[in-house]
Amino acid sequence: MPESTLRAVVVAVKLPEVTVEDFDASRRELTRLLKTLGYEVVTELTQQRPALAAAAALGEGKLQELAMLTGGSGRTGFKPRPPSKARLKAEAADEDLEDDNDLEDDNDLEDDNDLEDDNDGETRRPPIDLVAVDHDISPSQLRNLERATGTTVLDRTGVIIEIFHRHAHSQKARLEVEIARLNYEAPRVRESPRGKERQQGRGAGEAALELDRRKIRDRIAELREQLAKIQREENLRRRQRSNARRVALVGYTNAGKSSWMRALTGSQVLVENKLFATLDTTVRALYPEARPRILVSDTVGFIKKLPHDLVASFKSTLDEALEASLLVYVVDAADPAWESQLDVTRSVLQEIGADGVPSRVLFNKLDAVAPDERQALEERFPDALKVSSRSAEDVAHVRRELIAFFEAAYVEGELVVPYDRARLVSEMHDVGKVLAEDYSDEGVRVRLATDPETLQRLRAELG
Would 416 be classed as within a structural domain?
A: yes
The reply to whether 308 and 343 lie within a common domain is: yes
What single DSSP character describes residue 286? -
Would 164 be classed as within a structural domain?
A: no
H or E element in which residue 199 lies: helix 196-200
Count other C-beta atoms under 10 Å from residue 380's C-beta: 9
What's residue 373's pLDDT? 94
CA distance 245 to 240: 12
The reply to whether 309 and 268 lie within a common domain is: yes
The reply to whether 284 and 199 lie within a common domain is: no
Would 265 be classed as within a structural domain?
A: yes
Contacts 24+ apart (CB under 8 A), 446-451: 446/414, 446/415, 446/416, 446/417, 447/412, 447/413, 447/414, 448/412, 448/413, 448/414, 448/415, 449/407, 449/410, 449/411, 449/412, 450/292, 450/410, 450/411, 450/413, 451/406, 451/409, 451/410, 451/411
CA distance 292 to 295: 10
β-strand pairing of 326-332 with 282-285: unpaired
- 312: domain CATH number? 3.40.50.300
- Predicted confidence (pLDDT) per residue in 401-436, tens digit: 999 999 998 999 999 999 999 899 988 988 888 999
Picking from 135, 159, 183, the residue at the C-terminal end of a domain is: 159
- Ranges of the chain with pLDDT below 50: 78-123, 191-200
Whole-angstrom Cα Rg for the chain: 29
Using alpha carbons, select from 38, 71, 77 the residue that is nearest to residue 56: 77
Contact 376, 363 (CB under 8 A): no
The reply to whether 198 and 253 lie within a common domain is: no
What's residue 279's pLDDT? 58
Using alpha carbons, select from 390, 360, 392, 387 the residue that is nearest to residue 374: 387
Picking from 113, 136, 159, the residue at the C-terminal end of a domain is: 159
Query: Could you tell me how many residues make up the chain?
Result: 463
Cis omega before residue 82 (within 30°)? no
The reply to whether 81 and 194 lie within a common domain is: no
Picking from 159, 192, 215, the residue at the C-terminal end of a domain is: 159
The reply to whether 192 and 311 lie within a common domain is: no
Would 308 be classed as within a structural domain?
A: yes
- Predicted confidence (pLDDT) per residue in 75-84, tens digit: 876 444 444 4
What's residue 233's pLDDT? 83
CA distance 449 to 412: 4
If one counts the domains in the chain, the total is 4
Instruction: Give every CB contact of residue 255 below 8 A, 6+ residues apart in sequence.
Output: 301, 330, 331, 332, 335, 341, 364
Cis omega before residue 187 (within 30°)? no
Count other C-beta atoms under 10 Å from residue 124's C-beta: 13
CA distance 55 to 71: 19
CA distance 36 to 21: 23
The reply to whether 11 and 109 lie within a common domain is: yes
Would 1 be classed as within a structural domain?
A: no
Q: Side by side, which strands form the sheet with 6-14?
A: 39-48, 6-14, 130-133, 152-155
β-strand pairing of 245-251 with 294-298: parallel
The reply to whether 248 and 384 lie within a common domain is: yes
Would 169 be classed as within a structural domain?
A: no
Would 167 be classed as within a structural domain?
A: no
The reply to whether 263 and 389 lie within a common domain is: yes
What's residue 219's pLDDT? 93
The reply to whether 353 and 295 lie within a common domain is: yes
The reply to whether 133 and 193 lie within a common domain is: no
Domain that holds residue 135: 6-159
What's residue 77's pLDDT? 65
What's residue 40's pLDDT? 94
Contact 252, 331 (CB under 8 A): yes
> Strands, E, within 15-129: which ranges?
39-48, 116-117, 123-124
CA distance 39 to 5: 7
- 11: domain CATH number? 3.40.50.11060
Amino acid at the residue 236: L
Angle between helix 315-322 and helix 171-185 axes, rounded to 10 deg? 120
Would 77 be classed as within a structural domain?
A: yes
The reply to whether 34 and 123 lie within a common domain is: yes
What's residue 90's pLDDT? 38
